[in-house]
Amino acid sequence: MIRVTVITDKLGRPLQDLRISVIDRCNFRCTYCMPKEIFGRDFVFMPREQLLSFEEIERLAAIFIDLGVKKIRLTGGEPLLRRDLPVLIEKLMSIEGLEDIGLTTNGSLLGHMAEKLKKAGLKRVNVSLDALDENLFKSINDSGVGPDRVLKGIQKAKEVGLEVKVNMVVKKGMNDKEVVPMAKYFKEQGITLRYIEFMDVGQSNGWDFSSVVTKKEIFEQLSQHFDMVPVDPDYIGEVAKRYQYVGSRTEVGFITSVSESFCSTCTRARIAADGKMYTCLFAENGFDFKALLRSDKSDVEVRNEIIKIWNNRTDRYSDERTEESARTKKKIEMSYIGG
């Protein structure tokens, strides 16, 4: 294939990052993501044949990498529920040009899987943890899993040499009292904690502006306990606004999709578990690459389709978000498209 040096969308944003959801299932029922009222026992998830196979994911990833993608993140659902996931990681790491591969997980299976993931070539894990208080955390994930299990998974990941970051979604009235305890704990552990503003992803989380705790509000809370200095971004399109605790190498970050949009530097494409490509986390519609991969289309034809889609990309939802659009716009569920 002929490498395309720069592929940009209508707003001049390059394609650099690819997020691949490997499964739509999750063993948690977090109230802001997969509430039991909707994702109950009778909810029908994708059968295995509807998911992209590892070979299809590898083929598609290789084409994206040929187009300039340098980083891949595996998501879900809960990606560690996908059988033999380390095999996929090995396949992806063998693709020339891929610089980094990470994984986002709820951490419940990480203790068991960490060593296998590291041996397969995984470099980094982002672990979702929204509270240290046991009763609160159980009420949030609505699955009976306490924080100790996740914390043990984090410790195991560190022991085997994986870089670990922790993500905390902060929702007003749910877990905003955990902001400082989480910071203190992970500062002592030397682990980066990132606060994520509660976002209107999907249709089922009951989002509204009044539930958002902004970066400014969180920062003000932290400033009463810690001295922090800003850290320059490592690369164009870095999502988190980063700070470092004075006298420490440990960082804290903020993902500010609501209060301080970063649409102008978004370089991410997303592949859902069934092979649809989405050009925005808040997209309504995707482009069916599973059908292309399972047809007689060549890699060049698939590649040209990606170029066409990205060249026509205009997404900037967080820039344009209003109370009305947040309430009425049809959006894909987080558990389907990945984070």
| Percentage with pLDDT > 70 across the chain | 90
Residue 218 has pLDDT above 50, yes or no: yes
pLDDT of residue 112: 96
Per-residue pLDDT, averaged over 71-89, amounts to 96
pLDDT of residue 2: 46
* Strands laid side by side in the 17-21 sheet: 228-231, 241-245, 251-255, 192-197, 163-170, 124-128, 100-105, 71-75, 17-21, 268-271, 276-278, 287-288
Residue 210 has pLDDT above 60, yes or no: yes
End-to-end CA distance of the chain: 30
Q: For the chain, give percent helix, strand, coil, nearest 5.
A: 35, 20, 45
Q: Cα angle at 36 between 339 and 109, to 5 degrees?
A: 55
Task: List Cα–Cα distances, 109 to 26, 117, 127, 154, 275, in angstroms.
Answer: 11, 11, 11, 10, 25
CA pair distance 114, 124, nearest whole angstrom: 10
pLDDT in tens, 295-317: 999 999 999 999 999 999 998 87
pLDDT of residue 1: 47
pLDDT classification of 322: cutoffs 50, 70, 90 = low
DSSP-H helix ranges across 98-239: 110-120, 134-141, 147-159, 179-189, 215-223
Residue 156 has pLDDT above 60, yes or no: yes
pLDDT in tens, 234-276: 776 678 899 999 999 999 999 988 878 888 889 999 999 999 9
Using DSSP, state whether 135 is helix, strand or coil.
helix
Listed in sequence order, the residues at least 6 apart from 126 whose beta carbon sits closer than 8 Å to its beta carbon are 73, 102, 103, 104, 105, 164, 165, 166, 167, 194
The DSSP H or E segment spanning 255 is strand 251-255
The domains found in the chain, sorted by start residue, are 17-337 (3.20.20.70)
